[in-house]
Amino acid sequence: MDHSVHNKLISFIWSIADDCLRDVYVRGKYRDVILPMVVLRRLDALLEPTKKAVMEEVQFQLEEMKLTEFDDGPLKEASGYVFYNTSKWTLEKLFSTATNNQQILLTNVEEYLKGFSTNVKEIIECFNLTAQIRHMASKDVLLEVIEKFVSPYINLTPTPKQDPEGNKLPALTNLGMGYVFEELIRKFNEENNEEAGEHFTPREVIELMTHLVFDPIKDDLPLTLTVYDPACGSGGMLTEAQNFIEEKYPATGSKRDVYLFGKEINDETYAICKSDMMIKGNNPENIKVGSTLSFNEFAGQRFDFMLSNPPYGKSWASEQKYIKDGSDVTDSRFKVTLADYWGKQEAVDATPRSSDGQLLFLMEMVNKMKSTTDSPLGSRVASVHNGSSLFTGDAGSGESNIRRYVIENDLLDTIIQLPNNLFYNTGITTYIWLLNNNKPINRQGTVQLIDASLLFQKLRKNLGNKNCAFSAEHITEITRTYLDGLSVERRLDNNDPIGIAAKVFNNQDFGYYKVNIERPDRRKSQFSAERIAPLRFDKALREVMEFIYSTQGDKVYQKDFLKTIEKDILDWCEDNDITLNSKAKKKLLDTNNWLKLRTTIQAAEKVMATIGDTEYYDFNQFKITVDKALKAQQIKLGVSEKNAILNAVSWYDETAEKVIKKVVKLSDDKLDVLLDHLGCCKDDLPDFGYYPTQKANEFITYEPCSDLRDAESVPLADTIHYYFLAEVKPHVPEAWINLDSTKIGYEISFNKYFYQHKPLRSMEEVAADIIALEQQAEGLIAEILGVDISEVQGEGEAVL
């Protein structure tokens, strides 16, 4: 569509809002009228040429066939579309026969809306158009709005027309209508400050995605194929994919059937998408409304191609109840089977954090891929994401599990980094992920990364956040780089990187082992009144319990006393910004809990009275001494209470002795099992935390110090033990590997892979620039003051 015509049409439609709705709606609500009226007029204009044939069929069914309900088939055939209107009205007729009586006009418009086929009525309902019509009638602007939309100076039909002055009004194609919708939505988004990427994707990005998805198999496209978008918005991805196939790859000697499927959560954009499907002649029943994540609408279907730009940075917390039961994932789409470090297969969580659900849409598409046993071509996917999908989430997290599943199953083909500010409502960096479950032999086991972030042309005028675009040449270059499947070195211009870059990696290059490296705990110990005093209080509730005890003393141990001062306690908490959940509140007011804590501190006081305040450098000996003191005092404590006392009076000190966890005696069989489990020989056991004693097959293990624990990320291509020997042990000789903590993770770092070092400028270059700027500044000041700089400099030298 010609951009001048497009802009003229947008301006005309936008003027309707300002001319007719200014005093009826707040500016942010214009869209509630404009978008549905554009859709309605579009559908109405398409039905005008066949209105007579439809009314003849209506009369035939009512009078000749005596039907009480209309037969859809003949009516659709009469209208020439998959929709129709059985009322006598059109928008033109409503306007031309209207009087000043708004009630009559409203009645006629409502009759007109009720005459539409069921699929259009659903669109009307999604737009809540009936309510808007009534509101406009009550404000006496309904006729004005209808008049604007039936103006002979705009053409919303797919055939060329002339205005009353004889000027040509070009046809509005489905693609042109898409541009109109998207520009209107963009303007409305700006008015309402809606979220980034909420509704649509720039056309050149869609064009690039269609090339990437279809070009590699253009010679093998089947005559019947399906395309799916799980976050279809206004349908741009779907209709452009269809247009691309029909225009670029028409079937030779026969017609290619393209079936479009989609789901959209927003009623408004769903209505726009569904109307576009009806106009195009596609089956509108394949477009569903609702949450893709909450309900597996297409559970039994698989698709040949999938293109999508799902919402990113958007919470899916409200949908968790449909996917999880507590911490257990109940939706099979978001649960995958992966092997742990030991090779044991297990079902794991494949859900990202609740603040960002974009990877769930990727898993939805993975779930909908056709098996190569069912379809020789398998399925191809193109999905837009922001950077968090590449690296967010540690090893074993849902995000990492998703990346791992996709890469280890050799589904990830290519990731392309796009320029910043390419999208209308966001300036962040975005990426196109390409998935394929039938990769050609030369691409199997590899992933190509393409950096096209420097490949763009600036727009003369920003469109929201969008200040750049891809040209046709850029799309061709990116597509060619992808099809070649090779690495491409970045070009330099005066040491500045330009153009495109690409690198090919093995799947394993993105994976890593995350393993904990432990160091022994070393503790000094000494009893003192100050150290055992906090034992009177629960660690999590210490602040509020200290306040209560300081004001009430031993009365807190009287039954039900705390409940009598509950209000005072809660008021104090509120004044001090302390929030208590129901569990903490119950624990705080529980007298038995206070008594249990008092028992612990009293036991500590008795032990201190027995062993004194001697400082111990060997925590192992200190524990023995405490046990003897407890036994002598005939004090029985639970494990948690005893540990609370020990922890209260001990602290880490690197000069102290190591804290022994246990001494283990291993038979030959058990030792062989351990060595096989750790994958090492007997001499290497200290590297894994087993230290031999003087006795045969006896080993000491030490308590690890959590504060000194370190996590190492070891590339999958390396061996954890070799990495430890090379990178850790030379620096921390007493460290050991906690192999049982090992998890496998995957992440992709574009910055690391495509970083190019740029040498710093020399001091001479920097100094020359500073001098030049100073001279330039002097000249500007002299010009402003109207003086000759040379004379000023001469006078200054004379004074000196």
- For 201-256, the pLDDT digits (tens) are 888 899 999 999 999 999 899 899 999 999 998 888 898 899 899 888 888 778 88
Residues 186 and 199 both lie in one domain: no
Q: CA dihedral defined by 305, 307, 311, 313, rounded to 10 degrees?
A: 90
- Which of the four pLDDT bands, split at 50, 70 and 90, describes residue 786? low
Given 514, 547, 570, the domain boundary residue is: 514
Do both 648 and 777 map to the same domain?
A: no
> In terms of domains, do 238 and 252 share one?
yes
Q: Give yes or no: residues 490 and 555 share one domain.
A: no
| Mean pLDDT score, 618-637 | 94
How many C-beta atoms lie closer than 10 Å to residue 318's C-beta? 11
Is 733 within a domain? no
* Encoded tokens for 111: 């009759």
Residues 6+ apart with CB under 8 A from 58: 70, 75, 86
pLDDT at 190 over 70: no
Tell me which of 611, 627, 652 is where a domain ends.
652
**And the tokens for 347?**
């079902």
Overall average pLDDT of the 607-613 stretch: 94
What average pLDDT is seen over the chain? 90
Share of the chain above pLDDT 70, in %: 93
SS3 580: coil
Residue 5: per-residue pLDDT: 65
Q: Is residue 690 part of a domain?
A: no
Q: Is residue 582 part of a domain?
A: yes
774: in domain: yes
537 and 507 share a domain?
Answer: no
CA distance 567 to 589: 11
Task: Please report the pLDDT score of residue 195 as a whole number.
Answer: 47
* Average pLDDT of the residues in 738-761: 87
- 10 Å CB burial of residue 261 (0-12, 13-18, 19+) is buried
CATH number at residue 277: 3.40.50.150
Q: Considering Cα of 382, then 387, then 393, then 394, what sign does the dihedral take?
A: positive
Domain-embedded: residue 99:
yes
H/E stretch holding 669:
helix 668-678
The whole-number pLDDT of residue 465 equals 75
Of the pLDDT bands very low, low, confident and very high (cuts 50, 70, 90), residue 1 is: very low
**Statement to judge: residues 415 and 474 lie in one domain:** yes
Inter-CA distances, 223 with 102, 245, 277, 438, Å: 53, 11, 20, 19
**How many angstroms separate the CA atoms of 474 and 489, rounded?**
17
Do 183 and 204 share a domain, yes or no? no
What pLDDT, on a 0 to 100 scale, did the predictor assign at position 197?
Answer: 40
The verdict on 459 and 333 lying in the same domain is yes
Q: What is the tens place of the pLDDT at every residue in 678-721?
A: 999 999 999 999 999 999 999 999 999 999 999 999 999 999 99
Q: Is residue 616 part of a domain?
A: yes
Q: What is the C-alpha end-to-end distance of the chain, expressed in Å?
A: 72
**Could you tell me if 145 and 207 lie in one domain?**
no
Same domain, 177 and 233: no
- The residue out of 140, 155, 190 marking a domain boundary is 190
Q: How far apart are CA 613 and CA 524, in angstroms?
A: 12
Q: Which residues of 219-249 are buried (b: 16+ CB within 10 A; e: fewer)?
A: eebeeebbbbbbbbbbbbbbbbbbbbbeeee
Q: Looking at the predicted structure, is the pLDDT value of residue 783 above 70?
A: no
Specify the pTM. Answer: 0.85
Q: Taking Cα atoms as reference points, which of 350, 344, 347, 356 lies closest to residue 387?
A: 356
Do residues 183 and 224 both lie within one domain? no
Within a domain: residue 151?
A: yes
The 10s digit of each residue's pLDDT in 331-390 is 999 999 999 999 999 999 999 999 999 999 999 999 999 999 989 899 999 999 999 999
Within 10 A of 85 (CB to CB), how many other CB atoms are there? 23
Regarding whether 199 and 288 lie in a shared domain, the answer is: yes
**Res. 178 pLDDT band, cuts 50 70 90:** low
pLDDT value of residue 669:
94
Range of the domain at 602: 523-652
Is 55 contained in some domain? yes
Count of the separate structural domains present in the chain: 4
